[in-house]
Amino acid sequence: MAYDFDLVVIGAGSGGTRASRLSAGFGARVAVVEESRLGGTCVNLGCIPKKLFVYAAHYGEDFADAAAYGWEVGPRRFDFARLRKHKDVEIARLNGVYAKLLDDAGVTRIDGRARLVDAHTVAVGERRLTAEHILVATGGWPSLPKTPGIEHALTSNEVFGLDRLPERVVVVGGGYIAVEFAGIFHGMGAHTTQLYRGELFLRGFDGDVRRALAAEMKKREIDLRFRADVARIEKTGAGLRLTLDDGSVLEADAVLYATGRTPNTRGLGLDAFGVATGAGGEILVDDYSRSSVPSVWAIGDVTDRINLTPVALHEGICFARTVFGGAPTKPDHRDIPTAVFSTPSIGTVGLTEEEARERHGDVLVFRSSFKPLRHTLTGRDEQTLVKLVVDRKSDRVLGAHMLGPEAGEIVQGLGVAVKCGATKAQLDSTIGIHPTSAEEFVTLRQPVA
């Protein structure tokens, strides 16, 4: 059968764009369908605007610390509207970059919402596109509980479009989005409360890092409340009233729910011809990202494997090589470094101490907590934490974790070492760069009890 395209990609986010460009580079005729702005969640409503907001939030502490280094900083005022304007300009620029990348690669761009009709047909409005292969890369979508009054809440989709900074903000959730926005709002000057129904936030991260971050956030007077949840939200003349499950009440100007994301598969038509999905709507795929229907593939958050932008990019590369490059390639999801842009930030790669003990049993833990050199003059009460988890038998470094300024930048390099199977002895033989926080990773000598 003659198809219109060799590949139709649904979703022009990070993974879909990368897969489209590389597939076209292998000679495939490719079309990509996007109903919103190019770049997906990361560019428009995630990584990029969030990191810009994180930068903005840090200036308050930087101004305060400057006096210790001889700088006189005069009156200052934070203009949220100006930040949003500049952010919007940068996002629009990136949208244009994505368009140019696709156009230069010879990919046909189609605006609209796509729906799968059958194993080789995609509908975009009244238009029908046929293809030998279909790749679904539609990402995820914020999920909300059925709390009474939830219609008054913001999600990460709306928070970047606020016209002004709320004076009182409640953040509900315990994942990385929640802790990041708690730090952002606080750093910008809002009175910030974070609620999490569990005992401690950031489930799945190393326990020492989780506890240390909670302590640092409390030092900054972020109102952290664990084992707490919202029973109902009411709109009042003065803002919002949140009644908690223990009967207590919080008054706020805005409430942000960061309580998880679900795969964005609703309305795609997957059920019509047997594409298997999981309990959360995720597309079930094999090791090569192929679904239960041989012509339909899926990558990124819509598969709910590891929901990170660099992982979606990696899966897009593997897909293109497998289907059009003549080199079947499985995505490698082991030892993926990642960062949480909390205040202070987290960088992590490999196994947590808890995971390492469960999988390997006999492990050595090396840990150091210290005041960064910068704050020996400022007097700010902030501790940096670095930690290595090592397999006693093989001496291999199983995990590296950090809480402190620029943790993501530092742990990226350690990600290479862990991926290459570095041993503790090799780290010990590496000369540190002095004076830096990063050197602590190669000067840890005594394991903790």
pLDDT digit string, tens, across residues 91-108:
999 999 999 999 999 999
Average per-residue pLDDT in the chain? 97
Contact present, 423 and 395 (Cβ < 8 Å):
yes
pLDDT of 261 > 80? The answer is: yes
Domain co-membership, 188 together with 128 = no
In terms of domains, do 195 and 279 share one?
no
Share of the chain above pLDDT 70, in %: 100
Q: How many C-alpha atoms does 399 have within 13 Å on its Cβ side?
A: 28
The alpha helices in 231-378, defined as continuous H runs, are 309-323, 353-360, 375-378
Q: Which of 259, 294, 312 is the last residue of a domain?
A: 259
| pLDDT at residue 443, rounded to an integer | 98
14 and 136, same domain (yes or no): yes
pLDDT in tens, 232-241: 999 999 999 9
Task: Judge whether 360 counts as a catalytic residue.
Answer: no
Instruction: Choose the final residue of a domain: 323, 349, 364.
Output: 323
Q: CB-based contacts of 82: which residues, under 8 Å, 6+ apart? A: none
Cα separation, 176 vs 307, in Å, equals: 12
Average pLDDT over residues 285-307: 98
Of 337, 322, 353, 310, whose CA–CA distance to 420 is shortest? 337
The answer to whether residue 329 is domain-embedded is no
pLDDT of 349 above 90: yes
Q: What is the dihedral of CA 57, 62, 63, 67, to 10 degrees?
A: 160
* CA-based max dimension of the chain: 74
Say if 332 falls within a structural domain.
Answer: no
CA distance 270 to 380: 54
Active-site residue, from 86, 191, 333, 434: 434
Q: What is the pLDDT of residue 189?
A: 97
Is residue 118 a part of any domain in this protein?
yes
Identify the pLDDT of residue 33: 98
Reference 131, options 23, 14, 38; nearest CA is 23
pLDDT tens per residue across span 195-244: 999 999 999 999 999 999 999 999 999 999 999 999 999 999 999 999 99
Please write the tens of the pLDDT for every residue from 149-184.
999 999 999 999 999 999 999 999 999 999 999 999
- C-alpha 303/C-alpha 448 separation (Å) is 39
| 180 and 201 fall within a common domain | yes
**Same-domain check for residues 378 and 249:** no
Same domain assignment for residues 387 and 432 = yes
- Band (pLDDT 50/70/90 cuts) for residue 272 is confident
* Residues 135 and 156 reside in one and the same domain: no
Give the torsion through C-alpha atoms of 406, 412, 413, 414, to 10 deg.
100
CATH of the domain at 181: 3.50.50.60
Convert the pLDDT of each residue in 350-383 to its tens digit.
999 999 999 999 999 999 999 999 999 999 999 9
| CB neighbour list of residue 75: distance below 8 Å, 6 or more residues apart | none
For residues 127 and 26, state if they share a domain.
Answer: yes
pLDDT of residue 54: 98
Structure tokens belonging to residue 409: 């930048």
Domain presence at residue 328? no
330 within some domain: no
* Spatial separation of the C-alpha atoms in residues 225 and 138, rounded to whole Å: 34
Q: Give the domain range for residue 114.
A: 5-141+262-323
Q: Tokens 């930040």 sit at which residue?
A: 83
**Confidence band, pLDDT 50/70/90 cuts, at residue 449:** confident
Answer yes or no: is pLDDT of 401 > 90. Answer: yes
Instruction: Write down the pLDDT at residue 15.
Output: 98
Digit-coded pLDDT (tens) for 313-329: 999 999 999 999 999 99
Comparison of pLDDT for 273 and 304, the residue scoring more? 304
129 and 41 inside one domain:
yes
Residue 347 has pLDDT above 80, yes or no: yes
If asked whether residues 108 and 134 sit together in one domain, one would say: yes
Burial (CB count within 10 angstroms: exposed 0-12, middle 13-18, buried 19+), residue 362: exposed
191 and 296: one domain?
A: no
**Is residue 109 domain-resident?**
yes
Reported as a single tens digit per residue, the pLDDT across 16-61 is 999 999 999 999 999 999 999 999 999 999 999 999 999 999 999 9
Q: Which two tokens stand for residue 383?
A: 């501790």
- Looking up residue 361, the CATH number of its domain turns out to be 3.30.390.30
Of 222, 244, 259, which residue is a domain's last?
259
Q: Does pLDDT of 344 surpass 90?
A: yes
Q: What is the pTM of this model?
A: 0.96
Question: How many structural domains comprise the chain?
Answer: 3
Residues 272 and 312 in one domain: yes
Q: Is residue 333 part of a domain?
A: no
pLDDT at 1 exceeding the cut of 80: no
Spatial distance between the Cα atoms of 187 and 167, rounded to a whole number of angstroms? 12
Residue 394 lies in a domain: yes
